[in-house]
Structure 1
Amino acid sequence: MGETTAERAPAEQEERRVRRRRRPRWRIALAVAAVVAAGGVATVAVLRAGGDGGAERAADLPPGTAKVARQTLSDTQTEDGRLGYGPTMTATSQTRGTITWLPDSGGQITRGHRLYEVDGDPVVLMYGSKPSYRPLRIGTEGSDVERFEKNLSALGYDGFTVDDEYTSDTAEAVREWQDDIGVAETGIVDVGRVAFADGPVRVEAVAAHPGEPAAPGKKVLDYTGTTQAVTVELDTADQRLAKKGARVEVTLPEGPPVAAKIDEVTTVIEPGEQGEDPTTKVEVTIWLSSAKAKKAAARFALASADVEFTAGQRENVLTVPVSALVALREGGFGVEVVKGSASSYVPVETGMFADGKVEVSGQGISEGTLVGVPK
């Protein structure tokens, strides 16, 4: 005799309850990928807890397990760089005449020495961040006067006060300097007879030839600094890596990695080819100025280099493998905590993602806790 409807009801209700308890283990896919792409930080919505403080009991144990670990997470990324001498600058003539001498490519020039010659007279290199723009003579006042007087003093000339006023004492020191470099002793510094750069320069390329006419705006040569640097071009999506002053690790073709820091960050717009839109890049300059870095780079003129950036670091945090995260039906993420022959889902808050690990925190999550992972 068959079962009655009343007899089947309890069995069907129990089956429905079992089905409701069975929660599928949804591994992170697009959701976690979006979190990582957005910088690796997310806050998980709190799951409705069951009676034991966790989510409902899982029907089966996971295929593998891993322990919650306490460690330091670093958000690192390695990019290709090129070793050289940093950004290239251009020296242009500020006076008319004939170019009579030019340095060789690769030559290094320091303060007080000729950068090139016009009409047989040297154009002398001085240090400063701004170019000259007017003659300096008795009565001239301004920051350009002070900049020139600082250089004159650094070259060993004295008898004047280094300030923003060009006095007769300054003119007397200038005449002495003019005698030493072999030009007319006028006591006046004409425009175009001094070239300013941030420091010592290395001639990258010569753009003119002796005998060519010089004129205001004519390109004479390209130069760089004398300290070697690694330059890296980053996509704008990786701009988080480019923080001035941030520490990096540089690996050259030979030798161990050397520590350095980011010195300059600039935005570069590269024109598109064959009608394509221009692209924007973030250019990072890392000067190899420490003694160890200089020694490592000294054997190379131009070379490729690997640069490891650290965008962020979290010390002494609890971590699990990224694969341990599950997307919970109630929203947010959790982990499957395994205790003996049973397991339960526990909601977690996620922090930094790095090296296949993710920072987690939440009730019931501590160092050594066993969580489920795929095989």
Structure 2
Amino acid sequence: MKRPTRRMIIAGAVLAAGAIVTAAALGFGGSVPQVEASSTGLPPATAKITKGTLTQTQSVAGTLSYGPVTPLTGKADGTITWLPEPGAVIKPGDPLYKIDNDPVQLFTGKLPPYRTLSEGDSGPDVKQLEKNLKALGYKGIQVDKYFGSSTTEAVHEWQDDHGLPENGEVAPGQYAVAAGPIRVTEVKTTVGATLAPGAEVLGYTGTERLVEIDLPVDKQQYVDVGNPATVVLPDGSKVKGTVSKIGAVASTDEEGDTTIGVTVTIKDQKALGTLEAAPVTVQLITGKATDVLTVPVTALVALSGGGYGVQVVDGGQVSYVTVKTGMFAGGMVEISGSGLTAGTVVGVAS
């Protein structure tokens, strides 16, 4: 009868996939304990079965930045009298730039200004204006899509606070909207220049750095919105991230590679240091097995009747136990078999 033999093919295949172990050996210090056998006839080395979590990952290339640049165009004509510096962070209620010394303010919203608003008007743009005025501290205003007397009063106060003509009307050239605070990336004009409606004033991004990935479409199954990801910075340090957006439309470049855009957000911005833009590696989780028994892949033995087993070493005796394998990750393999528990000693290849 043939003796079981160890095969290393499996180990090579799973290691090539780039899988890693994020936690292992609950109760055993997080690493695989190796103990040299001392009796003749025993395996050359042993390891204890551990219980923990195996995590498979797929590494892809990404780019760290503040995200895509959005152009900001003017809605009124006049002379530019003040501009922010590149890198400046502008919050809702702060001026984006000044034209004829009147500030053009940043409001929060999605609907760009397209008409002059005054008492009697109604619509989503009125509600957007009212929400911003209320958020800026103007009291007594009713947020209801209708430009009533309370809105007029709040607009008068807002105009008085910012040196604007107190006419109770809000012109489209007096504000611009964005999803939240912005970071100025570039200025497209100069102080003293004449601005015409539709002319680009500056470019901006969000205020938090993120990672954008052009993910090959054949790897799309690895990502879902909300999945955790690990961002590896150029210095080798790692930062936790979360998949926040997956594009709906794939694109093909000049070389014929088809990709889909994926965005990874990073909560701990301080962990990124002073980096503003850099190529990074992103480790996407492709699978996870929790609370499972694991052994080094080198503990697997190919049984003569087919399948795999492990050599259990107990009191100087060796017995073979058939196992069912599960996930492979980072040189470890999930196993289950009769009588096997965390702490059981098994043979491994030297």
TM-score by length of 1: 0.69
Deviation at 1:196, TM superposition (A): 0.9
Q: Contact (CA 8 Å) 2:89, 2:183: kept in 1 or not?
A: yes
Structure 1 residues 34, 109: closer, same or farther in 2, change over 3 A? closer
Deviation at 1:328, TM superposition (A): 5.2
| Alignment size in residue pairs | 325
The 5 A counterparts of 1:111-130 are 111-118=92-99, 120-130=101-111
Question: Deviation per CA, 1:55-92, whole angstroms, max 9, x where unpaired?
Answer: xxxxx976554332233334456777655434433323
Match of 1:374 in 2: 349
Q: Partner of 1:150: helix, strand, or coil?
A: helix
The 5 A counterparts of 1:183-262 are 183-210=164-191, 211=193, 213-216=195-198, 218-226=199-207, 228-231=208-211, 233=213, 235-236=215-216, 242-247=223-228, 260-262=240-242
The 5 A counterparts of 1:318-337 are 318-326=293-301, 332-337=307-312
For residues 115 and 28 of structure 1, the distance between their equivalents in structure 2, rounded to whole angstroms, comes to 63
Deviation at 1:199, TM superposition (A): 1.7
For residues 84 and 222 of structure 1, the distance between their equivalents in structure 2, rounded to whole angstroms, comes to 14
The 5 A counterparts of 1:6-25 are 21-22=1-2, 25=5
Deviation at 1:321, TM superposition (A): 0.8
Match of 2:264 in 1: 285
Q: Partner of 1:115: helix, strand, or coil?
A: strand
For residues 39 and 282 of structure 1, the distance between their equivalents in structure 2, rounded to whole angstroms, comes to 23
For residues 272 and 14 of structure 2, the distance between their equivalents in structure 1, rounded to whole angstroms, comes to 39
**Are 1:276 and 2:255 an aligned pair?**
yes
Match of 2:53 in 1: 72
Match of 1:49 in 2: none
For residues 238 and 13 of structure 2, the distance between their equivalents in structure 1, rounded to whole angstroms, comes to 31
**Are 1:356 and 2:331 an aligned pair?**
yes
Match of 2:86 in 1: 105
For residues 3 and 237 of structure 2, the distance between their equivalents in structure 1, rounded to whole angstroms, comes to 51
Structure 1 residues 62, 234: closer, same or farther in 2, change over 3 A? farther
Question: Deviation per CA, 1:296-340, whole angstroms, max 9, x where unpaired?
Answer: 446554566676665555444211112233455665544344565
Question: Deviation per CA, 1:330-356, whole angstroms, max 9, x where unpaired?
Answer: 655443445656543x43222332221
For residues 119 and 240 of structure 1, the distance between their equivalents in structure 2, rounded to whole angstroms, comes to 54
Which of 72, 97, 108 is residue 91 of structure 1 equivalent to?
72
Q: Contact (CA 8 Å) 1:118, 1:214: kept in 2 or not?
A: no
Which of 30, 33, 40 is residue 13 of structure 2 equivalent to?
33
For residues 67 and 234 of structure 1, the distance between their equivalents in structure 2, rounded to whole angstroms, comes to 41
Deviation at 1:115, TM superposition (A): 1.1
Structure 1 residues 300, 63: closer, same or farther in 2, change over 3 A? closer
Q: Partner of 1:262: helix, strand, or coil?
A: strand
TM-score by length of 2: 0.73
Which of 117, 131, 134 is residue 136 of structure 1 equivalent to?
117
In structure 1, the gaps of 5 or more residues are: 1-20, 41-59
For residues 334 and 357 of structure 1, the distance between their equivalents in structure 2, rounded to whole angstroms, comes to 14
Deviation at 1:254, TM superposition (A): 8.2
Q: Contact (CA 8 Å) 1:230, 1:305: kept in 2 or not?
A: no
For residues 241 and 270 of structure 1, the distance between their equivalents in structure 2, rounded to whole angstroms, comes to 18
Deviation at 1:280, TM superposition (A): 1.1
For residues 99 and 270 of structure 1, the distance between their equivalents in structure 2, rounded to whole angstroms, comes to 41
Deviation at 1:149, TM superposition (A): 0.7
RMSD: 4.0
For residues 116 and 180 of structure 1, the distance between their equivalents in structure 2, rounded to whole angstroms, comes to 16
For residues 308 and 129 of structure 1, the distance between their equivalents in structure 2, rounded to whole angstroms, comes to 33
For residues 317 and 144 of structure 1, the distance between their equivalents in structure 2, rounded to whole angstroms, comes to 55
Moved more, 242-251 or 146-155: 242-251
Q: Contact (CA 8 Å) 2:63, 2:211: kept in 1 or not?
A: yes
Structure 1 residues 360, 234: closer, same or farther in 2, change over 3 A? farther
For residues 187 and 158 of structure 2, the distance between their equivalents in structure 1, rounded to whole angstroms, comes to 27
Moved more, 329-338 or 199-208: 329-338
Q: Partner of 1:175: helix, strand, or coil?
A: helix
Task: From the CA coordinates, give the structure whose radius of gyration is larger.
Answer: 1
The 5 A counterparts of 1:297-316 are 297=272, 299-302=274-277, 313-316=288-291
Which of 100, 125, 132 is residue 151 of structure 1 equivalent to?
132
Moved more, 125-134 or 103-112: 125-134
In structure 2, the gaps of 5 or more residues are: 21-40
Structure 1 residues 182, 367: closer, same or farther in 2, change over 3 A? closer
Deviation at 1:204, TM superposition (A): 0.9
Residue identity matched to 1:185: E
